[in-house]
Amino acid sequence: MDAGPSAPALTRGELVTLSNELRIACMRISRRVRFESDPELAPHQFSALIRLETTPRTNSELAEIEKVSAPSMKRTTQSLVDLGLVARADDPTDGRQVILSLTAEGRKAVRRIRRHRDEWMLARFENLSEDELQLLRRAGAVLAKVAGE
């Protein structure tokens, strides 16, 4: 099946411009979604919560995943423990480690924030045409590929 004539290849300068425009747009959307999601929970706290959603982890594991220092992650998770969103338990195989997991309130917070983020995005889609929405669908698949997913 012939897809028809292909578009001319972009020059390096055009690719650099496209790269910058897409990166900035993605960063702006990401920042807006993160900061509009929950005034009582900082973006880095929510990120730690979602890392605990599927499996309990240690502070060290979370720090490695999030690319932050262990002391920084310990402060983050302690604040989540203080809020009642994360529970601490001794590691049965290593007494020096603490296993962190979501509490029922932590799971509710994750669902609430995701729902709020979805609503934020959906509100922006309301003014788009059907063609623009279809373009975003295709672009989403391409951006996932660029991101290595």
Helical spans, DSSP H, in 4-129: 12-35, 43-51, 59-66, 70-82, 104-125
Query: Does position 86 have pLDDT exceeding 80, yes or no?
Result: yes
Query: Span 81-108, mean pLDDT?
Result: 93
Contact predicate 56/88, CB 8 Å: no
Task: Provide the residue count of the chain.
Answer: 149
Domain coordinates of the chain in residue numbers?
A: 13-143
Asked whether the predicted pLDDT for residue 108 surpasses 90, the reply is yes
pLDDT for res 54: 94
> Does residue 82 have a pLDDT over 70?
yes
Instruction: Please give the structure tokens belonging to residue 29.
Output: 């959307």
pTM: 0.77
Give the pLDDT band of residue 1 (cuts 50, 70, 90).
very low
pLDDT tens per residue, range 40-62: 788 899 999 999 999 999 999 99
Q: Is 149 exposed, middle or buried (0-12, 13-18, 19+ CB in 10 A)?
A: exposed
Instruction: Give the Cα separation of 27 and 39 in Å (integer).
Output: 19
Confidence of residue 5 (pLDDT cuts 50, 70, 90): low
According to CATH, the topology of domain 13-143 is Arc Repressor Mutant, subunit A (1.10.10)
In this predicted structure, what is the pLDDT of residue 6? 67
